[in-house]
Amino acid sequence: MSAVLKSQSPANSSTAPTVKLLINGKFVESSTQVWKDVVNPATQEILARVPFATKEELDAAIMGAAEAFKTWKNTPIGARARVMLKLQELIRRDMKKLAACLTAEQGKTLPDAEGDIFRGLEVVEHACSIGTLSLGEIAENVAGGIDTYFIRQPIGVCAGITPFNFPAMIPLWMFPMAIACGNTFVLKPSEQDPMTPMLLAELALEAGVPPGVLNIVHGGKEAVDALCTHPEIKAVSFVGSCHVGEHVYKLSSDHGKRAQCMMGAKNHAIIMPDANKDQSLNALVGATFGAAGQRCMATSVAVLVGEANQWIPDIVAKAKTLTVNAGNVSGTDVGPVISIQAKQRIESMIAKGVSEGAKLELDGRNTTVAGFEKGNFIAPTIFSGVKPHHEVYKTEIFGPVMAIVAVDTLDEAIALTNANPYGNGTGIFTQSGAAARKFQNEIDVGQVGINVPVPVPVPYFSFTGSRGSKLGDLGPYGKQVVQFYTQVKTVTARWFDDAAVSTGVNTTISLK
Ligand code: NAD
């Protein structure tokens, strides 16, 4: 049975395919009574129905993972790495198929969907180096004839909870590294776009991931809470909004688990008056409106410093050149937002900005697209004159909306950014090395771009959002996640030489 199959659930008369659960290496139909439609945001076509797994199904997935851990943890590192080598090959083979599915259920443009998959693929490539990434260390002769070393061991069943906005990249941030480290995994993808993660799971099985090593369950709060509280789960990785992340972090920690939560954002781009105007404004507009503003690293606040405040008409003019259309139409720059509810929420935030007195320079509401009249489209929207107390400044809108704040100096721009509770990403656009260096040094945000609009680090580093955008100290990929997914065991060893003279009983604590 494949991950999404054209079969009917007895719970519903709809003819849409049902999304399966992956338990113990088998794609199985849920017996739940609770289903949700997976909807194409450009057309409202129901693509599939996703089950909210029952308690018994959640338990079966977790216990299957616990059983599989007994053998997977002892599978040689090279064998684990070779599964990842095969997985990266299969993702490349199916790139177009994955991108088409991702665009259909998420809405982003086809090139951006390929980017989503590619950024995840890079993590799989990095997981192929698990041998060197998970090495221990040794210190010889810490005392007479005594060596101390540490080894990294897998921790057990790990869980991942992912958001709707990167249905390929973020699952791939999680399960490949967890599995490569020798753990087993239970993934709960976003119920809004679960089909792409299921295709990735099919590829993982084809690549040789044994039964029970990767499991997928679906659902909402109940499924998440079950993962955060089940005694067999040792670590929880979460990516999503702040209010859910805070809940997941507390619940998982209260139940004795390792937890890492990457959360919401309000990313500021600082435009200095000496910036290369054309390049910087292109980058700003792309980073704000790309993926319809539904990236955690999207720029949502443009801080124009001094004379750069005169560039507002140029920003508006560039934003107007973007094409709003369905993600699978060639030439589209801005696709639909994920749901009718998301569209309504974004529109209400725009209305709020107007009522609070910000100047609406460009209004993207009431946008219709010929041939896709039912789509959840919002065109680029720009406010100027935004103040720190405005809701459009304070709240993560997660749509194609730019808030422009004017300041006089770089110091003011830094102070403004540092006073914002989020710390996911930021950028400065300038031709001054001194200004860039000062910014890099003084800014209290975890990921900094210098003339780079969306500074998401490649997998040899880690994703390092900070402050209100993150809970837990370790990032979701890179060397940091090897620490997260492994337990360090330190061994202090002495081997007796039969020929040596006995030193007698020693009751002190020092090693000699
Ligand atoms: P979300 O928080 O609504 O959902 C994330 C996951 O939590 C989903 O799997 C969902 O089913 C589950 N969930 C939803 N409500 C829940 C509840 N009440 N209790 C328990 N679980 C619940 O996030 P989203 O709307 O899917 O994604 C957008 C958000 O994710 C934005 O805030 C964005 O900034 C953030 N995000 C952050 C990063 C990052 O790396 N910092 C990356 C991508 C997205």
Rounded CA-CA distance 210/453 in Å is 40
Centre of ligand 1 to C-alpha 98, Å, is 22
Rounded CA-CA distance 325/335 in Å is 5
Q: Is the minimum distance from the CB of 162 to ligand 1 under 6 angstroms?
A: yes
pLDDT at 6: 46
Q: Average pLDDT over the chain, rounded to whole?
A: 96
Rounded CA-CA distance 479/497 in Å is 39
Instruction: Examine the residue annotation and report whether 296 is marked as an active-site residue of this protein.
Output: yes
Of all protein residues, the one whose alpha carbon is nearest to atom 12 of ligand 1 is: 220
Which residues lie below 8 Å from residue 19, measured CB to CB, with a gap of 6+?
3, 4, 38, 48, 49, 50, 51, 194, 195, 198, 218
For residue 168, give the DSSP letter: T
Cα separations (Å) of 147 from 285, 497, 500?
57, 14, 18
Rounded CA-CA distance 330/416 in Å is 39
Atom of ligand 1 nearest to the CA of 296: 34
Which residues lie below 8 Å from residue 231, measured CB to CB, with a gap of 6+?
255
Of all protein residues, the one whose alpha carbon is nearest to atom 23 of ligand 1 is: 240
Centre of ligand 1 to C-alpha 441, Å, is 30
pLDDT at 509: 81
Q: Which residues of the chain have pLDDT under 70?
A: 1-2, 4-14, 511-512
Please compute Rg for the chain using Cα positions: 25
pLDDT at 39: 98
Amino acid identity, position 397: I
pLDDT at 510: 74
pTM: 0.96
Atom of ligand 1 nearest to the CA of 219: 11
Of all protein residues, the one whose alpha carbon is nearest to atom 16 of ligand 1 is: 221
Atom of ligand 1 nearest to the CA of 469: 41
Rounded CA-CA distance 406/393 in Å is 12
Of all protein residues, the one whose alpha carbon is nearest to atom 9 of ligand 1 is: 190
Rounded CA-CA distance 488/236 in Å is 18
- Looking only at the bridges linking them, the beta strands covering 146-154 and 137-143 are antiparallel
- List 128, 181, 228, 296, catalytic entry: 296
Name the residue of 263, 294, 297, 396 whose CB sits within 8 Å of the most ligand 1 atoms, as the mutation to test its pocket.
Answer: 263
Which residues lie below 8 Å from residue 151, measured CB to CB, with a gap of 6+?
136, 488, 489, 491
